[in-house]
């Protein structure tokens, strides 16, 4: 996440978040009932990004400190923390060679809602970000509508991403074709 925040800056939903650890977070000056967004910095699924009250996180910290049952999570795990946002809609976009090939709405007002496709301006937003930076030649990008603006939530690898209502035939066709061309090019050298 820190990489994405550095590359895409204000286009990231959590652009004003802080990179810290569970241990260091205990020294932050949050009120006990203050809601904050927390997620792991790594894409290791050690826990899901979510909004918790600071008091809940303090309790979680004590659990990690004494009874940790998660091998991917400890007091020094790097985490991203920041203010929570009201996200109206969330889409997953499948991107190959900086172009959106298919997409799906997967959440609306914090509820699961699967619909194929997304508005053209979401595609334009994502493809503009891809001109600035891409983590891979083929990946997924989750985009949020928050207020009247679009933001990148996160990116992920293709093989671990939920399809929702994306067109799997288009995904397979485009990825196969893209990597076939790369292989042909390398064989011709």
Query: Does any domain span residue 111?
Result: yes
pLDDT, mean of residues 132-150: 97
Provide the token pair at 91: 């889409």
Q: How far apart are CA 97 and CA 104, in angstroms?
A: 19
Q: Is the pLDDT of residue 24 over 90?
A: yes
Nearest partner of 85 among 24, 6, 15, judged by Cα? 15
The CATH number that applies at residue 182 is 3.30.470.20
| 167-182 residue pLDDT tens | 999 999 999 999 999 9
Residue 19, SS3 per DSSP: strand
Query: Does any domain span residue 12?
Result: no
Domain residue limits at 51: 17-82
Provide the token pair at 151: 């933001």
* Predicted model pTM: 0.90
Provide the token pair at 96: 């190959």
pLDDT above 70 covers a percentage of the chain that reads 99
Query: Does any domain span residue 106?
Result: yes
Number of domains in the chain: 2
Whether residue 155 sits in one domain with residue 101 = yes
Which residues on neighbouring strands pair with residue 142, listed in sequence order?
Answer: 92, 154
Whether residue 139 sits in one domain with residue 77 = no
Whether residue 57 sits in one domain with residue 25 = yes
């Amino acid at each position: 996440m820190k990489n994405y925040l550095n590359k895409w800056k204000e286009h990231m939903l959590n652009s004003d978040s802080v990179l810290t650890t569970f241990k260091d977070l205990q020294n932050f000056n949050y009120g006990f009932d203050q809601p904050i967004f927390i997620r792991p910095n790594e894409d290791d699924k050690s826990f899901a990004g979510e909004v918790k009250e600071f008091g809940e996180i303090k309790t979680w910290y004590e659990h990690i400190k004494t009874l940790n049952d998660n091998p991917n999570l400890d007091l020094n795990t790097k985490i991203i923390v920041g203010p929570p946002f009201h996200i109206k809609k969330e889409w997953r976009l499948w991107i190959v060679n900086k172009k959106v090939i298919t997409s799906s709405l997967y959440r609306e007002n914090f509820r699961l809602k699967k619909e194929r496709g997304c508005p053209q301006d979401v595609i334009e937003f994502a493809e503009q970000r891809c001109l600035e930076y891409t983590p891979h030649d083929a990946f997924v990008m989750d985009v949020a509508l928050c207020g009247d603006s679009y933001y990148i939530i996160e990116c992920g690898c293709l093989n671990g991403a939920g399809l929702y209502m994306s067109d799997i035939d288009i995904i397979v066709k485009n990825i196969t074709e893209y990597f076939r061309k790369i292989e042909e090019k390398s064989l011709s050298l």
